[in-house]
Amino acid sequence: MKLPRQCAALIGGLGTRLGSLTANTPKPLLDCAGRPFLFWVLRELSRFGIEEVVLLAGYKSERVEEFCREAQALLPKPLTLKLSVEPEPAGTGGAIWHARELLDESFLLINGDSWIDTNLARFFAAAAEVPDAVGYMLLRAMEDCSRYGVVEVSGSRVLSFREKPGIKQPGLINGGIFILDRAVLDYISPNCSLEKDVLPVLAAKHLLHAKAMEGYFIDIGIPADYERAQKELPKRLHRPAIFFDRDGVLNEDSGWVGSPDRFIWIDGAMEAVRQVNDLGYHAFVVTNQAGVAKGFYEEHDVAHLHRWMTGGLRAFGATIDDIRYCPYHPEAVVDRYRQHSEWRKPGPGMIVDLLHKWDAIAERSVLIGDRQSDMEAARAAGIRGTLFRGGNLGDFVRDIREPHTSGVDGQQK
């Protein structure tokens, strides 16, 4: 299966168990800490390389359309939102069928009223290693499965689904997150249930695999859990961040690295990013790119290299949440880049922008840099800086939550 860039989100249900709360509002659009619940879900998806979301709507679809216009202006990363409205209630499978013309060759599918806080990059990478699967689902271990159907597996292969046991017992449940190949459309009709009509057939044909993931899970389907989400979700999504300088930290600094053929990962760099993802921290990159100002390469080359970097990390089970670079230099050869900029380290601009856009916890955030200018930028932004002197970056990051001291001078890039 391919690493997904697109997600389809099921948001068409009536939400009857929430009573009057959903009388005029689709369940995923209910307010949670000042934003619709779905906003937080979309923000999390964008961290893991999802660039487009197709909202599979039904009930009160006009509210969803309004949400699309508002959300795109508030999300910290660009995310294309498309709307597919089923003409009448068609079930979870039918919602996919009605959106078939909008779907990629491989796409993520989620329930818009639930979320598991985990490193989805590991889930994506594991799915990519099962080329013959039509579906790959995320499972979660629960001590009490009384409210949920139970999934039986052998290794990664899904064997069967059992109905809600009705009594408290442990087991693996459907986490509401899937990667599906377009071939799934061969098993879907205009009105059907993905859970009841499609997934059991895929399992019987050995075409459905799964991975169990740990992490905080919330489903706002009942009033008690919706109230719990009001208090718990903001705490989960208000994260510290690890900021990585690029040249000399993530990759060898051979001077003006502007293309993949000149990019060599530092030992342990991919492992370091994945560790940060597993910790639940934001992983950001902040890099001075004076090579643009000096005419060695252009901004589109930087963008291409960063796409290549993040693609390699995704295949490894890691993700960079967001990247900032500064192409300006006071002695630029290219006129339009000749200026002083607060984004150029030792200025704090790139760090401050990311802290603000992602609402990250500055007092628990760290910048890993290889030069004194990085340390100065960290201090100016109000976060801790730690100097990477070389070696294995994965080993260096293992104790990243503990304070580091450097006292070593560096050279400004």
| pLDDT for residue 162 | 85
Distance CA 29, CA 66 (A): 11
pLDDT value of position 413 = 43
Q: Do 246 and 204 belong together in one domain?
A: no
CA dihedral over 363, 368, 373, 375, signed as positive or negative: positive
What total of structural domains would you count in the chain? 2
Given the residues 245, 321, 370, 374, the one annotated as active site = 245
* 409 lies in some domain: no
Q: Are residues 228 and 258 in the same domain?
A: no
Under the banding of pLDDT at 50, 70 and 90, the label for residue 402 is very low
HEC secondary structure over 207-242:
CEEEEECCCEEEECCCHHHHHHHHHHHHHHHCCCEE
CA dist 408 and 372 (Å) reads: 7
Average pLDDT over residues 88-109: 96
Residue 102 clears pLDDT 70, i.e. is over it? yes
* Same domain membership, residue 224 and residue 124: yes
Identified catalytic residue from 113, 181, 219, 247: 247
171, 204, 288, 342 from 141: Cα distances, Å? 6, 22, 43, 47
Note whether residue 57 is domain-resident: yes
Do 213 and 288 lie in a common domain?
no
- 71 has a pLDDT exceeding 90: yes
**Local confidence band at 306 (pLDDT 50, 70, 90 cut-offs):** very high
Summarize pLDDT for 136-146 with one digit per residue, the tens. 999 998 888 87
Tell me, yes or no, whether 313 and 326 share the same domain.
Answer: yes
411 falls within a domain: no
- Is the per-residue pLDDT at 282 higher than 70? yes
The verdict on residue 31 lying in a domain is yes
Q: Using one digit for the tens of pLDDT, what is the confidence trace for 230-248? A: 889 888 889 999 999 999 9
Name the β-bridge partners of 108: 7, 179
Q: Domain containing 313 — which CATH number?
A: 3.40.50.1000
Reply yes or no on whether the pLDDT at 69 is more than 50.
Answer: yes
**Which H or E element spans position 115?**
strand 114-117
Average pLDDT in the chain: 92
Angle at CA 358, nearest 5°, toward 365 and 109?
120
Could you tell me if 382 and 288 lie in one domain?
A: yes
Same domain, 325 and 211: no
Whether 41 maps to a domain, the answer reads yes
Indicate if the pLDDT at residue 403 is higher than 70. no
- Are 197 and 248 part of one and the same domain? no
Task: Report residue 405's pLDDT band, with 50, 70 and 90 as the boundaries.
Answer: very low
Asked if residue 203 is part of any domain, the answer here is yes
Q: pLDDT of 31-44, one tens digit each?
A: 998 899 999 999 99
How do beta strands 31-32 and 35-36 pair? antiparallel
Same domain, 318 and 368: yes
Q: Which of 163-167, 259-263, 327-331, 344-348 has the lowest mean pLDDT?
A: 163-167
- pLDDT for position 15: 77
CA-wise closest residue to 53 among 5, 120, 118, 1 = 5
What is the per-residue pLDDT for 408? 31
Give the pLDDT confidence of 22-32 residue by residue, as tens digits. Answer: 888 999 999 99
Name the residue range of residue 379's domain: 241-397
Query: Residue 401: what pLDDT?
Result: 54
According to the model, what pLDDT value does residue 323 have?
98
Instruction: Choose the final residue of a domain: 187, 208, 236.
Output: 236
Retrieve residue 390's tokens: 């070389």
What is the total residue count of the chain? 413
Q: Residue 385: name the closest of 273, 254, 241, 247 by CA.
A: 241
Same domain, 20 and 35: yes
Same-domain status, 366 and 381? yes
- pLDDT value at position 155? 93
| The last residue of a domain, from among 236, 260, 295 | 236
| Tens of pLDDT, residues 147-193 | 788 999 999 999 999 887 677 888 898 889 999 999 999 999 999 99
Q: Is the model's pLDDT at 325 over the cut of 70?
A: yes
What's 199's domain CATH number? Answer: 3.90.550.10
Q: Are residues 222 and 245 in the same domain?
A: no
Q: Which of 202, 236, 270 is the last residue of a domain?
A: 236
Residue 247 a catalytic site member: yes
Q: Of the segments 71-80, 214-223, 312-321, which one has the largest average pLDDT value?
A: 312-321
Residue 254 lies in a domain: yes
Overall pTM > 0.75: yes
Q: What is the pLDDT of residues 339-373, one digit of tens each?
A: 999 999 999 999 999 999 999 999 999 999 999 99
Residue 402 lies in a domain: no
